[in-house]
Amino acid sequence: MSSSATILVVEDEPRLLRLFDSILRTAHYRVLTATDGAQALEMVALESPNLILLDLLLPGDIDGFAVCRRVREFSDIPIIMVTARTQEADKLRGFELGADDYITKPFSAKELLARVQAVLRRSRDTPATPARFSIGHLVIDLAAHRVTRDGQEIHLTPTEFRLLLALARQRGRVIPHDQLLREVWGPEYHNEVEYLRTYVRYLRQKLEPDPAHPRYLLTEPGVGYLLAADPAEPGAS
């Protein structure tokens, strides 16, 4: 795996980006690059990299911390933060958001490759969750927080999106009511099944071609809900 792994480098300084690129290519990794957070999330969705090298200070609305948080909502892709020596507090915050390791600028090629190899080795057995997938006419992009149906964007509230995310992470499997309530609303809500029913109804109204006969968001009576992995074609029931 080590020589064929795909690494996404997120870095806005052209000089550093070239340096990462050349070190990693020389070691026979496939390298993708992004220069801001939005581009990074797009690349994660399109390419499912095996590792992300993530500069924390990025231009635009989505900084490195936000990229880290978004990616961790749906995926365990290893993330190595790139920090300056003066950013000790940032390092801590990065770990809290789920980063796996960090590298401090300036770094040597040897040090970079050692960290990359170590993190890839640790993650080898973790199956990847695709950041973007389609179900019937829906395209769900977990990285960009975007859902489209036949190319039309569907606007979801934050709670609706969290519910969809909880179901999408284990697509095709029934998730019990209490687990969904804990994940979406918090541990103290684990008995509030009525909340869940209400939001399932909202989601179905937005996602399902015929909300009265759901094909995507299915009920397992008395147990929970599931997001279909392979929904029946319309009219096939």
Residues that bind Ca ion (CB under 5 A): 12, 55, 57
Cα separation, 84 vs 13, in Å, equals 13
Q: Are 167 and 226 in contact (CB under 8 A)?
A: yes
Nearer to Ca ion, 57 or 218 (CB): 57
**Total residues belonging to the chain:** 237
**Minimum CB separation from Ca ion for residue 15, in Å?**
11
Position of minimal CB gap to Ca ion: 57
Q: Which is nearer to Ca ion, 52 or 227 (CB)?
A: 52
Sign of the Cα torsion 183, 184, 189, 195 reads: negative
Which residues have CB under 8 Å from 73's CB, separation 6+? 142, 165
Element (H, E) at 165: helix 158-168
Angle at 232 between CA 216 and CA 171, to 5 degrees: 40
Least CB distance to Ca ion at residue 57 (A): 4
Task: Give min distance, CB of 54 to Ca ion, in A.
Answer: 10
- Rounded to a whole number of angstroms, the minimum distance from the CB of residue 103 to Ca ion is 13
Residue 99 or 163 having the CB closest to Ca ion:
99
The answer to whether the Cα torsion of 109, 112, 115, 119 is positive or negative is: negative
Between 85 and 155, name the residue whose CB sits nearer to Ca ion: 85
Q: How far is the CB of 22 from Ca ion (least distance, A)?
A: 18
Nearer to Ca ion, 55 or 208 (CB): 55
Specify whether the CB–CB gap between 159 and 199 falls below 8 A: yes
11 versus 160: smaller Cβ distance to Ca ion: 11
Say how many CA atoms lie within 13 Å of 37 toward its Cβ.
18
Q: In angstroms, give the least distance from the CB of 91 to Ca ion.
A: 15
